[in-house]
Amino acid sequence: MIETQTFPPPGGSPPHPPELTDENLDRVFFALSDPVRRAILARLGGGRFLVSELAEPFDISVQAVSRHIQVLVRAGLVQQERTGRISRCRLEVGPIYAAAVWINQYSEYWQAQFDSLADWLGKIEARKPTPGKTGKRTRTTPTKTGEER
Amino acid sequence: MIETQTFPPPGGSPPHPPELTDENLDRVFFALSDPVRRAILARLGGGRFLVSELAEPFDISVQAVSRHIQVLVRAGLVQQERTGRISRCRLEVGPIYAAAVWINQYSEYWQAQFDSLADWLGKIEARKPTPGKTGKRTRTTPTKTGEER
DNA sequence: TATATAATCAACAGATCGGTTGATTGTCAA
DNA sequence: TTGACAATCAACCGATCTGTTGATTATATA
pLDDT in tens, A86-120: 999 999 999 999 999 999 899 888 877 765 555 55
Q: Is pLDDT larger for residue B14 or for residue B51?
A: B51
Among left, alpha and beta (phi > 0; psi -120 to 50; other), residue A76 is left
Per-residue pLDDT for B2 more than 70? no
A49 is a domain residue: yes
Residues in chain A: 149
Strand-pair category, B86-91 with B78-83: antiparallel
Q: How far apart are CA B149 and CA B146, in angstroms?
A: 7
| Among the ranges given (A7-16, A44-53, B32-41), the one the predictor scored with the smallest mean pLDDT | A7-16
| 117-146 of B, contacting A, C-beta below 8 A | 117-118, 120-121, 123-124, 127-129, 131-136, 138, 140-142
| Among the ranges given (A31-40, A93-102, B63-72, B121-130), the one the predictor scored with the smallest mean pLDDT | B121-130
Contact B58, B65 (CB under 8 A): yes
B117 is a domain residue: yes
A13 is a domain residue: no
In this structure, which amino acid lies at residue B123?
Answer: K
B137 is a domain residue: no
**pLDDT for res A3:** 35
Q: What is the CATH number of the domain that holds B94?
A: 1.10.10.10
B136 is a domain residue: no
**pLDDT for res B19:** 80
> What is the count of structural domains for chain B?
1
Q: Per-residue pLDDT averaged across A25-50, rounded?
A: 97
B115 is a domain residue: yes
Interface-testing mutation among A66, A68, A93, with chain B (most B C-beta atoms within 10 A): A93
A7 is a domain residue: no
Q: How far apart are CA A137 and CA B56, in angstroms?
A: 37
Q: Per-residue pLDDT averaged across A116-145, rounded?
A: 44
**pLDDT for res B61:** 98
A32 is a domain residue: yes
Beta-strand (E) ranges in B21-136?
49-50, 78-83, 86-91
Structural domain of B58: 22-124
Contact B87, B81 (CB under 8 A): yes
Helix (H, G, I), strand (E, B) or coil at B103: helix
Chain B touched by A88 (CB under 8 Å):
no
Q: How far apart are CA B40 and CA B2, in angstroms?
A: 36
The verdict on a CB contact (< 8 Å) between B30 and A141 is yes
Q: Per-residue pLDDT averaged across B63-83, rounded?
A: 97
C1' of nucleotide D25: residue with nearest CA = B85
Q: How many CB atoms lie within 10 A of CB A41?
A: 22
Q: Per-residue pLDDT averaged across B19-30, rounded?
A: 92
The sheet carrying A78-83 orders its strands as A49-50, A86-91, A78-83
> What values do phi and psi take at B105, rounded to 5?
-60, -25
Within 8 A by CB and 6+ apart from A122, the residues are none
Q: What is the mean pLDDT of chain B?
A: 76
Percent of chain B exceeding pLDDT 90 equals 53
